[in-house]
A and B are shown apart, each in its own frame.
Chain A
């Protein structure tokens, strides 16, 4: 943060985007009022962006009893870990009620496990199967290739709710309501975006590499697994991260087909938790502790791979 807060300093080269052009502003070193104003706006923006995250943490560490009287205290009101302990089910029902918690139990570990199962299987399946399709569209020659690709891409236009109703009926007919297959199947095999994303990269790989392997007698499946996939590590990781985050955050589909306790994911559980807390005095510190823990995997993923995600945005959004 400190380096970026100094208007005169040029950004450290390691921080700049590797392909970003040389900053034309860099030569101008005078401190101008416009720049000062700009930095004030930027800092205000960063504060507004990050404050809710701090507030989650601060509230999670507060006691419900003191939240009302210290609503504007920037520090936790009566520092305690009870909120987190309620979330993890470490307190008895009586203690939970005494702390302003809900009478119902949130089975946090179960929902966490379910979220992990759902997001992981969707990511693995979707990325691998989409990579196979992308390979066929990018590197194999066959009649009708571009037409089929265009048809696949047209699915991008279909709004989620439009397919949600018939898909729900289908999952119900298959007897897969409230099962993991029901939760993951619609996005397990492909999404138009994943195929499009990977196809773009596969097109850029030199054909000579594959050709050499083919001359050595390698099959198509083998070149796909041994050459194309390993060479696409960066885009595949990016896509996997984006897919994982999207699957982890998904609310609508799990709300429809994953209501029962044994497959309920975190997002749905949080929604239920919120609607179950009495209107008079919701368990805010418990709720904020839960949201924080639910957001944590994403934040960690973001911290670990943030640079890659940030740099991929220019690509992924402009489709």
Chain B
């Protein structure tokens, strides 16, 4: 049986086409059965997604020092936020992180996907480059923290071999954030590359053959066939990876903890500090509402681009 797991793209089943209209036993019992089957998931959804969302918005309008109950303060938190240099710093740092992470990762992933497409489809190669993606962020962070250590790190030893000065990758405000961004590129590269590879698999081989007969170089084929036809998949992959990379936390928390001098205090970490170190739940909630809105806008913009990409394909 060919399982749908193996296909590059999920089927887009039309919900209406699924069950043919039935009479008798089917129709009468389905609503009740459906309700019973949905009880656990609905409880999970309402208690841990829906109500927390409403409550989170409510907290953002309160002063909530955790140990005392929340008191309504209106827009105070949002006013404070606008005038909080640490918030703007966190926003800039996060955007800087997302930019480095996404640009480097996407460019490299396209290259790796092309390599897999043209050189080998070996499951061993694909598995090897995917492995880091399944290792816990904490472990990834610790290993690189050691490998990039100023004194003991193998990377610095290599730098010295090539006549360069050893670098305090996590201690230098200019280097710390790019370092963390690149560590996460290392972790996610294989995953992103495989998604793009799956997209490339859907491009008809005949197109390449025809282009080759017309004398198109591999580079020309890549530019004129692969990239345009990959656009919808690329857009989807970007939605997933951009919204994901906005939520960077583990790597920073384990390596720099936000330092040096707030150079890596990304918005997620700032919210965490406010809520769970300074016990200022109200203000932290206001910040997370803003993060939520940013992510919503990013996703909507990207989905728009995606739709533009889809019409391109037709």
Known contacts A157-B299, A167-B48; is A200 also within 8 Å of B13 by CB?
yes
B164 within 8 A of A: no
Cα separation A140 to B33 with both chains bound (whole Å): 8
Q: Is the CB of A139 within 8 A of B19?
A: yes
Cα separation A2 to B38 with both chains bound (whole Å): 50
Q: Is the CB of A50 within 8 A of B128?
A: yes
Q: Is the CB of B44 within 8 A of A19?
A: no
Q: Is the CB of B143 within 8 A of A170?
A: no
Chain B proximity of A30: nearest CB distance (Å)? 13
Stretch at the interface among B76-84, B98-106, B188-196: B188-196
Give the top 6 A-B pairs by smallest Cβ distance, nearest first.
Answer: A189-B44, A314-B198, A133-B41, A249-B136, A166-B52, A190-B41
A312 within 8 A of B: yes
Within 8 A of B (CB), among A40-67: 41-42, 45-46, 48-50, 52-53, 55-56, 59, 67
List residues of chain A with CB under 8 Å of any chain B CB: 1, 3-4, 7, 11, 15-25, 34-35, 38-39, 41-42, 45-46, 48-50, 52-53, 55-56, 59, 67-68, 71-72, 129-130, 132-133, 135-136, 138-143, 145-146, 148-149, 151-152, 155, 157-163, 165-170, 185-190, 192, 195, 200-201, 203-204, 207, 214, 220-221, 224, 234-235, 238, 245, 248-249, 251-252, 255-256, 267, 270-271, 274-275, 284, 287-288, 291, 294-295, 298-299, 302, 306-315, 317-319
B9 within 8 A of A: yes
Please name all residues of chain B whose beta carbon is closer than 8 Å to the beta carbon of A23 when the two chains form the complex: 121
Most buried by A among B4, B190, B295, B296: B4
Q: Is the CB of B146 within 8 A of A284?
A: yes
Q: Is the CB of A311 within 8 A of B52?
A: no
Q: Is the CB of B130 within 8 A of A313?
A: yes
Q: Is the CB of A133 within 8 A of B195?
A: no
Interface string of B239-279 (1 = CB under 8 A from A): 01001001101100110010000000000100110011000
Known contacts A158-B53, A162-B288; is A295 also within 8 Å of B136 by CB?
yes
Known contacts A4-B120, A318-B195; is A49 also within 8 Å of B275 by CB?
no
Q: Is the CB of A140 within 8 A of B143?
A: no
Please name all residues of chain B whose beta carbon is closer than 8 Å to the beta carbon of A256 when the two chains form the complex: 276
**Contact pick for A138, options B18, B119, B295, CB 8 Å:** B18
Known contacts A38-B118, A256-B276, A302-B131; is A294 also within 8 Å of B136 by CB?
yes
**Contact pick for A145, options B6, B33, B34, CB 8 Å:** B34
Please name all residues of chain A whose beta carbon is closer than 8 Å to the beta carbon of B237 when the two chains form the complex: 317-318
Chain A proximity of B84: nearest CB distance (Å)? 17
Q: Is the CB of B186 within 8 A of A170?
A: no
B169 within 8 A of A: no
Enumerate 5 A-B pairs (CB-CB under 8 Å) in ascending A order. A151-B45, A152-B45, A214-B25, A220-B30, A315-B8
Q: Is the CB of B40 within 8 A of A318?
A: no
Known contacts A140-B33, A313-B195; is A190 also within 8 Å of B291 by CB?
no
Please name all residues of chain B whose beta carbon is closer than 8 Å to the beta carbon of A143 when the two chains form the complex: 31
